[in-house]
Structure 1
Amino acid sequence: MPQIDFRQLMDSARISAVHLEMRDTYGVGDEADDFERWRATGDRDVDPGSAYWTPWVELISRAHARGVRVRRARVVSEPVTEYIRYEHAGTPVNLFSGEEVRWLPRRLAATLLLPGADLWVFDGRTVLFNHFTGNGEWADPGMELRTEADVVEGCVHAFEEVWERAVPHDEYKIR
């Protein structure tokens, strides 16, 4: 199976890139140091120029500069997990980069038919599924590309349904 290059997918987007996140916890991997510091102090790295954030900020800023609309919707259980609190604390950098971010309490998603995995949809034509283990680490394989019209259409529809119900980041209060 060929290696999937997320950065190449994002750099080739011309119209839109949407991200649907549905887990309450993720393995922290490259976030481990920042996560532990946040747990100990409550301070999260929100410097867009930091070594941690710069690659993401540059990637999303390039997309935004080309006119790509980048949206992220997070479906979360309430009260939220410690990891979701951590994500929420870092979201200002996503916004700074040009992303739009919304939060949907899981109880408000109960009547939606959602995919079984987190995903990205690029230009409404390509779906990148993100596969995780039960404890939130990357599965093997961790990513799967799909372009079948019915799969893409279903994922686009699911994202838009979540987006319509979700609360913009600046209005979402952590519970």
Structure 2
Amino acid sequence: MPSNEPTFAELLADCARSAVHLEMRDAYAVGDEAQDFSTWLSTGQRDTDPASEYWTPWVDLISDTVARGVVVRRARIVSEPVSDYIRYEHAATGVNVQAGEQVRWLSRSHASDLALPGNDFWLFDDHVIRWHHFAGDGTWVRQEISADPTNAKLCAESFEAVWARAVPHDQYEIH
């Protein structure tokens, strides 16, 4: 990441109203999840302790952000039947919710007629986008920060369209 680009924590710190995240991949190969994912695959056990070393940084960041009055929402578009990775994500999403995130799930079959951007993103206060670029195998490539108004509008409209159709986490059943 170029040194002049803000970190995720800095973007959240500058956020005053809303931070929304749209995830559209069925698998991610993020390095800091590798051991946890491997353990989950072999044992079915997932770290769901918000006070664990794994979760504390995220829980603290989101809790502090929500405490300032920022609404944090995450929507996931998933293929069904879901991949092992989505099962893994679902198994611990309760921690995201406990931290203060609102999370919804949308079957990809219900998103066919939605105009969606080509990459996952975070959108802060409807104008700053943090694009997530991944390789074909799901490994993280880079982030890209943009304040392009046309792209921000696309992201905001796409997210709201997904959110309106998506199922709240506590009601979503894995298929």
Both structures adopt the same fold (TM-score exceeding 0.5): yes
Q: Which moved more, 1:102-111 or 1:142-151?
A: 142-151
Does 1:23 find its partner at 2:42? Answer: no
Q: TM-score, normalised by structure 2?
A: 0.97
Question: What's the counterpart of residue 117 of structure 1?
Answer: 119
Name the aligned partner's letter for residue 99 of structure 1.
Answer: E
| Equivalent pairs, count | 173
- Within 2, Cα distance between the matches of 1:138 and 1:35? 16
The percentage of aligned residue pairs carrying the same residue is 55
Structure 2 residue 168 is the aligned partner of structure 1 residue 168: yes
Q: 1:152 offset after TM fit, Å?
A: 0.5
Cα deviations across residues 57-105 of structure 1 (Å, max 9, x unaligned)? 0000010000000000000000000000000001000000000000000
Shift of 1:28: 3.4
Name stretches of at least 5 consecutive residues in structure 2 with no aligned partner.
none
Distance 1:52 1:29 in 2: 13
CA–CA separation in structure 2 for the residues paired with 1:3 and 1:68:
22
Task: Indicate the residue corresponding to 2:110 in structure 1.
Answer: 108
CA distance in 1 between partners of 2:34 and 2:76 (Å) = 21
- The one-letter amino acid paired with 2:155 is C
Structure 1 residues 1-57: Cα deviation after superposition (integer angstroms, max 9, x where no partner): 434411100111110000000000000311111111111111110000001000000
In the superposition, the TM-score normalised over structure 1's length comes to 0.97
Q: Which amino acid aligns with 1:94?
A: N
2:68 aligned to 54, 66, 72, which one? 66
Amino acid at match of 1:56: W
Look up the equivalent residue of 1:119 and give its one-letter code. F
User: Could you say what the CA RMSD is over the residues aligned between the two structures, in angstroms?
Assistant: 0.8
